Amino acid sequence: MPSRVRPTSPSSAPGPLAGRTIVITRPAGTGSSLARKVRTLGGLPLLLPGLSLRAAPATDALRSQWDAAQHDDVLIFTSPAAVRYALRLALCRTTAVVVAVGQGTARALQRHGIEALLPEVQQNSEGVLQLPLMQALRGRSVALITAPSGRGLLQAEIATRGAALREVHVYGRAAPRLNRRHAEALLQLPAGACVLLSSGEAIQHLQAQLPAQAWQRLCSACAVVSSERIGEQARAAGFKRLHQATSATQADLLAAAVEICSQVRHEAGDAGC
C-alpha cells in the first residue's frame, strides 16, 4: 500500500476536476493509474483501498488446474488480477475462446498477446452471459479464472446452461490494511469530494474497518457507482448522493465524476459535488 494517504497535488493545468478530491477504492496497489488520470483532470486523488489481492499459493495442484483449463472450450478471465496471477503460474498457450469480463481485463490479456471477446454494453457478468458464444454451452467445457467468493452469477448460469464448469482460483480477495492515516484523511474530506465505488465487497470492508466518524464522512461524499447493483449496496451502507457510471472502467467512472462536478458548478456556483 502506498505510504501517502492524504490527497496528492493535482496537475498544474486546470481541468474539469480542478480542486476536487476523488477517493479511489481500488484494491491496494492497483490505484496508481487511476490516480494519475485524476491528477491529469486537475483533481486530487486519495487512495483508500477497499480490498487486498493476494496470489494463491503456486502449488503443483494449482498449476495442473491452470494447465487443464487451457484445454477447455471457453476460458473466462474475471479481472485483470486473474490475468496477472494466472500468467505468473505459466504462460497461456490455449486454443480456447478467451473471454474477458471487462475492458481492463481485455487490456491485461492483450499485453500478453491474447485477444479476448468482450461484452459490448455491460462490462460485467451479465454482459458476458449475453455473448452469443454463451448461448449454446451444452456439452462444452468452460474454465473460469477467478478468485473464491464473489457473486457466483457466472458459475450458476454456466452450469444451468449445461456446460462442464472448472473454476481455477489463482488469487484471493481479503480485507485491506487500513491505518490511522486513512481515517485522518477522511475526517478532512471536503464537502465537494467524490468516491469511486465499483465493488460491493470493498464497501463492506471499508464500513467494517473505518472508525464511525471517518465512515460517516466518507458517506457524505458524492458516490460514483459502477452499476445499479453497486448503487443499491452503497445506499444500504449509508451513501446518500449517488451517480451511476456507464461501467466500472476508469474512463467511465471519471466521466461520471466530471459530469456531476460540472453540474454542480453550473447549478450551485461550485458549491460541491
Whole-number pLDDT of residue 2: 42
pLDDT digits (tens, 9 = 90+) for 37-54: 999 999 999 999 999 999
Q: Distance (Å, rounded) from C-alpha 93 to C-alpha 50? A: 33
Interatomic CA distance for residues 148 and 150, integer angstroms: 6
- Residue with grid cell 490479456, as numbered in its chain: 109
Local confidence band at 266 (pLDDT 50, 70, 90 cut-offs): low
Q: How far is CA 245 from CA 26, 170, 221, 229, 231, in A?
A: 15, 29, 16, 12, 10
- pLDDT bracket for residue 265 (50, 70, 90): low
Q: Are strands 74-77 and 141-146 parallel, antiparallel or unpaired?
A: parallel
pLDDT number for residue 1: 39
Phi and psi at residue 196, in whole multiples of 5°? -95, 120
- CA–CA distance, 192 with 272 (Å, rounded to integer): 4
pLDDT-derived band of residue 150, with 50, 70 and 90 as boundaries? confident
Reading the block at residue 108, the C-alpha cell is 491485461
Q: Please choose, from the candidates 216, 249, 242, 207, the residue with its C-alpha nearest in 3D space to the C-alpha of residue 228.
A: 242
Strands 141-146 and 164-169: parallel
Q: Across the strands, what pairs with 242? A: 223
Rounded mean pLDDT of 100-120?
93
The confidence score (pLDDT) of residue 210 equals: 97
Q: Are the C-beta atoms of 182 and 210 separated by less than 8 Å? A: yes
In order of their start, the domains of the chain are: 21-51+175-268 (3.40.50.10090), 54-173 (3.40.50.10090)
pLDDT single digits (tens) 186-218: 999 998 899 999 999 999 999 999 999 999 999
Residue 7 confidence class, pLDDT cut points 50, 70, 90? low
Three-state secondary structure call for residue 49: coil
